[in-house]
Chains A and B, each alone.
Chain A
Amino acid sequence: MSASAETGAPALAGASAGGPAVHGETLPNGLQVVVIPDRRAPVVTHMVWYRTGAADDPPGKSGIAHFLEHLMFKGTERNPDGVFSRIVADLGGQENAFTSYDYTAYFQRVAKEHLPTMMALEADRMTGLVLSDAVVAPERDVVLEERRMRVDGDPGHQLVEALMASLYLHHPYGTPIIGWMHEIEGLNREDALAYYRRAYAPDNAILVVAGDVDPQEAVALAATHYGPIAPARAPRAPRVREPEIVASLRVSVADAKVEQPLLQRYYLAPSVTGAAPGETEALEVLARCLGGGTISRLYRRLVADLELAASVGAHYSPLAVDLSRFGVYAVPREGVALDRIEAALDEELAAVVASGFPEEEVARAKTRLLAAMIYAQDSQYALASQIGAALTIGLSAADVAARPARIEAVTAADVHAAARRVLQSRRSVTGLLVAA
């Protein structure tokens, strides 16, 4: 309808979604270093990403990657007993860590002059961790409380666990990142140290520095602090592959605490590592067209026109080492049965598979996707996180920089083809959250 909808995304002309210059280099010991200059404020974000995550947990030891992430704050010989966190706090810094299926990352945000101190501390922690049973036992209790808090008190989260375990029948993405309760209970100091020695090494890591820093200086600092650490030469082992699923599965969680039912469905979908060129970009655009906000197809139909749903959405993440997933959900309005909303959802999905989307809806979705990339440039933390996550799963900085242009190139025909390929019930799991 408007000019911008017809001609792609001129609304964004003049602004580059590709982001600022990114400086990349690899140290002789295999540590990949990425520097993203952002000179607006005198602060830096310092992150170390390891190419190891929950999907690399050994069988029977689910949760060990995440548990180790907690234990990484327990100290080294040089910096024992919370010295690391104390120094960061004394310098006015912020720190934290997170574990995903494919990576584990640690970060600090500090005034720029403290970057060398952060590097010294994080480099020391890469190989110097010291653990005693006295600190391991209470931290395991903390993780058990974390699981009780996030999952065991929340039927909605229990449904997500059941969906993932059913979508990935064989691949470790079906096991929760935090681990299964009975396996977390059995994790110990030796498990954590064995995992640590195998996976934590410079050639299995990516250092990302964003902020008010000169790239050459940052690389030189990295060489000083991280350079002396010996590589492990033990790259991540390939995981088992998910078999071809020929059944559409259904799971449900029924709980007396549920007052608002909902439906969620996951489809297996390719990730950047296994997709044809342009395919994951088309899937991102598809997720926007289908369920991104109030102008999306599912919203217009199920919420606005038919007045069956209170909310709907679609989501897809291209970043995964192995097969990813495409999800849709619908929350029924009061008095609308789940099977009615499922029938309406199926009807809309069938229409998309049959006919795709008009150019105008595709153009609008692309405009918003590209704008989100530009808005993300406001935050050095967001930029550093995007690069870190992409590199841990095997992309290059050039791939990240090229993504906006590839999104721009997606056509309505591409989106239609992606919908036909992915929205197949024989590769899906449908989950229902219902009152007991």
Chain B
Amino acid sequence: MDTSVRKVSHSGRVQRVVSPGGIEAWLVEEHAVPLFALEFSFRAGSAQDAPGRAGTAALLAALLDEGAGDMPAAAFQEALADRAVELSFSSGRDWFQGTLRTLARNADEAIRLTRLAVTRARLDPEAVERLRAETLAGLRYDANDPDSAASRRFFELAFAGHPYAAHPQGSVESVSAITRDDLQAFRAGALARDSLVVTCVGAVTPERLSAYLDELFGDLPASASLAPTPTAAFRGLDAIDIRDLDVPQTTFVFGAPGLARSDPDFIAAAVVNHILGEGTFTSRLWQEVRERRGMAYSVRTWLHPLRQGALYYGSTSTRNDRAREALDIIRAEIARMAQDGPTEAELEQAKRYMTGSYALRFDTSTKIAGELMGIAFEGLGIDYIDRRNGLVAAVTLEEARRVAARLFGDGRLLVAAAGRPVGFD
């Protein structure tokens, strides 16, 4: 039973649709459920927020469905609700995304409303202030949350001096400073056809989608006009930054430079990371920190290939008086992986899991649209779904050891902590 290179069900069903206006989308036509899911991303995110105005892209994302065209906020939201159209926008450091979910029979109206949101959102002062207030309340609510505090601090230190240092949602100070001009500047510079990636899954024909693409995006400027994000150096290795918080646990966020998504070693790095800290129930960190010692409910590591500064990072929370011990164990496991790499058995297990579970990412229309977006956005190619399991299966032990050494290197880490950890004087 060789499942290692099994193809997932939707491979081969992905079509490239190009509209008369030249806008491309990837489509999986699926009529079993009478809905369709559309995702569209622009290659610009909070890294483009002006200095001191972090949170601009995020606030714009919150505002695009708050009034558009002739309809003020309430009228626009009612129009969405009357057809049960689910439209939302979100943003990250490198991306700005729209997500549409609608019943197929309401698609025409859903597309009309989405087009208005993308091209003619009003950004009325009333809506700006209302969403600003909501954002600020959220930022204040999380101000002393240990996870949020440690994670913010980690990125501030790792990317000090670079736009990546700021949280995509911004801070109370920066969000308070955002003007309507900032929002309009981001929109005008970022929402353009040449930075657009579109994927769609559902009950829609290629011909119909093609017409929708021009309707939705045909009026956008041809080219984005934002300054490119500079390359980000990873800073702060060896630092341990402790934010004092009166809580019984210490939350650690730890990490170091990683590999770019386009790096030829990325797949091998993903396999090695799975073995170190990603696999729930099975990873080395899970076994050492949780199963054997009961030190934490959760411990995980991630690869995070930001466009201009890839990194890997992890996090855990453990009681203050065992914080030192927990961090020492994590460091030792990272060093062990860097030095010896995985065992043959670990590598085979990880490959079996990663190849076997790939199909689970494609069992709903919403998930398929999201997976396709990730593939398209990273430029991995429309045939990547078919190739991906073969790439994982091809990782050799020698390669895994080499990449483990490359990724985890000398074991140096930047550590941001929140809590009252004992043993760090």
Instruction: Give the chain A neighbours of B297 by CB distance below 8 A.
Output: 142-143, 145-146, 149
Indicate whether A1 reaches chain B with its CB closer than 8 angstroms. yes
Residue from A73, A141, A154 in contact with B281 in the complex, judged by beta carbons closer than 8 Å: A73
Instruction: Give the chain B neighbours of A2 by CB distance below 8 A.
Output: 78-79, 82
Instruction: Give the chain A neighbours of B32 by CB distance below 8 A.
Output: 39-40
Indicate whether A59 reaches chain B with its CB closer than 8 angstroms. no
Within 8 A of A (CB), among B137-167: 137-138, 140-141, 143-146
When the two chains form their complex, are residues B84 and A260 in contact, meaning their CB atoms are under 8 A apart? Answer: no
Residue from B133, B245, B294, B352 in contact with A89 in the complex, judged by beta carbons closer than 8 Å: B352
Residue from B77, B279, B366 in contact with A295 in the complex, judged by beta carbons closer than 8 Å: B77
A145 and B280 alpha carbons, distance in the complex (Å): 17
Looking at the assembled complex, report how far the CB atom of B87 sits from the nearest CB atom of chain A, in whole angstroms: 12
Given A11-B106, A43-B359, A145-B296 contact (CB < 8 Å): yes
Count residues of A near B (Cβ-Cβ below 8 Å): 79
Looking at the assembled complex, report how far the CB atom of A139 sits from the nearest CB atom of chain B, in whole angstroms: 6
Instruction: Give the chain A neighbours of B101 by CB distance below 8 A.
Output: 375
Instruction: Give the chain B neighbours of A370 by CB distance below 8 A.
Output: 84
Count residues of B near A (Cβ-Cβ below 8 Å): 78
Instruction: Give the chain A neighbours of B46 by CB distance below 8 A.
Output: none
Residue from A4, A39, A89, A93 in contact with B82 in the complex, judged by beta carbons closer than 8 Å: A4
Given A43-B359, A141-B295, A311-B137, A148-B82 contact (CB < 8 Å): no
Instruction: Give the chain A neighbours of B84 by CB distance below 8 A.
Output: 11-12, 367-368, 370-372
Indicate whether B54 reaches chain A with its CB closer than 8 angstroms. no
Residue from B8, B77, B105, B248 in contact with A294 in the complex, judged by beta carbons closer than 8 Å: B77
Given A111-B3, A152-B248, A142-B290 contact (CB < 8 Å): yes
Instruction: Give the chain B neighbours of A303 by CB distance below 8 A.
Output: 130, 134
A310 and B353 alpha carbons, distance in the complex (Å): 44
A377 and B141 alpha carbons, distance in the complex (Å): 34
A43 and B297 alpha carbons, distance in the complex (Å): 29
Given A138-B291, A378-B35, A379-B364, A89-B359 contact (CB < 8 Å): no
Given A152-B247, A153-B247, A374-B103, A367-B360 contact (CB < 8 Å): no
Indicate whether A86 reaches chain B with its CB closer than 8 angstroms. yes
A112 and B338 alpha carbons, distance in the complex (Å): 37
Residue from A15, A258, A293 in contact with B34 in the complex, judged by beta carbons closer than 8 Å: A15
Indicate whether A334 reaches chain B with its CB closer than 8 angstroms. yes
Within 8 A of B (CB), among A89-109: 89-96, 109
Looking at the assembled complex, report how far the CB atom of A49 sits from the nearest CB atom of chain B, in whole angstroms: 20
Instruction: Give the chain B neighbours of A141 by CB distance below 8 A.
Output: 293-295
Instruction: Return the CB mask of A400-429 against B: 1 if under 8 Å, else 0.
Output: 000000000000000000000000000000
Given A260-B143, A333-B137, A91-B352 contact (CB < 8 Å): yes
The 10 A-B residue pairs with the shortest CB-CB distance in the complex, in nearest-first order = A92-B356, A141-B294, A371-B84, A138-B294, A310-B137, A260-B140, A153-B247, A257-B144, A146-B297, A92-B357
